[in-house]
Structure 1
């Protein structure tokens, strides 16, 4: 069994202690370090090479958003799971743009936190359902229609039909296992397709693929994908 190495970044010692207690009840999770600000988080991530960083947003000095940008920019950087008490759209979209693989509110359950760590550690994206709805609304509502109706033809045209199918399923929140079952493929093959999609579209991670698919009209809330279906 592979152990998931986790770094905690939060300026409140009590919060870090609580997360550590929750996570270390699991045999497959190990907390390898704690940071009280963003700069320390970046340094520890470079030194400890964790699989997942749990990142608070509002911290002194270098905040969690800037720390996330620096951490995910590193070669083979860890997945960053942003946790915050602030249910604000500006934080949500800033975290996604910074390269976070997931975004959860701190009022969730311990079980949800453990599940989130495992999900992002295996390379999947994770957004709470209410957050996914807001991402969709951002790019398909009245203020986002012009943007969401335009596809990036140059990059999208580089995708094979199978890779396009994978992108559509990613936008629906499918995991690698889900995609494998839907397309009757092995999970290793799915991982390869996902990697090709991210590389061809110039995306950091699966969460960015979800945003990209809605932003560029690849899929709509009704599930159609106009870049293939036509107007």
Structure 2
């Protein structure tokens, strides 16, 4: 149940990141249209967002797969079908509480914005100067973080640094400086994650199963 909860959290977080990236790219549409790489990413982010929304919506309908035997037969042949089924059941469970999903999405957006601001502070501390100043961070970082969030490498290492070098290099930042900025940002997040994990381990409370909370049967 804990693993499934983390997976749902990751899906919601990635959806929020795609929404933020697309919103910022909409604001800077002239730069996006003039850059082939940004145009490709806009299609990738838009398509990814549509797919994830469809998955959440379809999984929220009880018995939707059972009503189409052919679809169910295909799904049952997939590797780790039991895990997929549990993930769908978890989505169904959270779909009963749309207010919780909205709050989670907004919280995730807030976290992503704070992460961007932290990189802005790191850049200022390193005397990084970009062609368009503050706005370049908000244009490129949602794109970088979206791609780095895809599980291609461990914690996005290597992928993220390459993207920093490529994208910030377009606005006058030296390759070595861009890579250093990426690593400083990663270690800053890692540090505060460790602080948060210590706080969690020392202050966590035993909670009833999520299903009991949703159904209103949890003991108070």
TM-score (normalizing by structure 2): 0.26
Structure with greater strand percent: 1
TM-score (normalizing by structure 1): 0.25
